[in-house]
Amino acid sequence: MSLPQQPAAYIRVVGARNARDPHVRDQVRAVLAAAGERGWPAPEVYTEIGLPGWPRPGSVLTRLAGCLASGRHDAIIVANLSRISRDPAEVLAFAVQCDRYQVTLEAVDEGTVRCSAGLVPAGSGRPPAPSRPGAPKAGAGPRSPGP
């Protein structure tokens, strides 16, 4: 996969008063540093103060989602997926939107999100290895014996 040429960074802080708030600046620094470590050009920064913005009309994230359809950005980086929303269904819907327009969705904490491949661990550049057939799923506990 090639490096993005027109990335965006989405920053969201609920309790901030404005974009000069230290929490906003910390998140911007972390995301810009992570983009640089990945070899990306400096992303255009979109900042949202308040509740999650997608798919809320008039929000910064909704405006950014519109930029995906126009081809303005080929990647989005966020500090973590909860910046998009704390609702996993909304995060998945946004990831599907990114996939639809072939836009990379990268979370500094979690890695690259690809709907077709699931979550790619941060820094690995590849999806996690598939589990062995019949192996218990992570967190599933011990398998019970058959009849």
The pLDDT of residue 37: 95
The CATH number that applies at residue 59 is 3.40.50.1390
Q: Is the residue at 85 inside a domain? A: yes
Q: Is the residue at 131 inside a domain? A: no
Neighbouring-strand partners of residue 115: none
Q: What domain range includes position 53?
A: 7-120
Q: What percent of the chain has pLDDT over 70?
A: 76
State how far Cα 116 lies from the chain centre: 15
What are the tokens at 102? Answer: 């072939």
Contact between residue 11 and residue 47 where contact means Cβ atoms under 8 Å apart = yes
Q: Is the residue at 130 inside a domain? A: no
Q: Is the residue at 126 inside a domain? A: no
Q: Is the residue at 72 inside a domain? A: yes
The pLDDT of residue 41: 97
Report the domain count for the chain.
1
Q: Is the residue at 42 inside a domain? A: yes
Residues 6+ apart with CB under 8 A from 117: 127
- Chain position carrying tokens 């704390």: 86
Q: Is the residue at 49 inside a domain? A: yes
Q: Name the pLDDT band for 111 (thresholds 50, 70, 90).
A: confident
Measured CA angle at 107 (ends 102, 108), to 5 deg:
135
Q: Is the pLDDT of residue 144 over 50?
A: no
pTM of the full predicted structure?
0.75
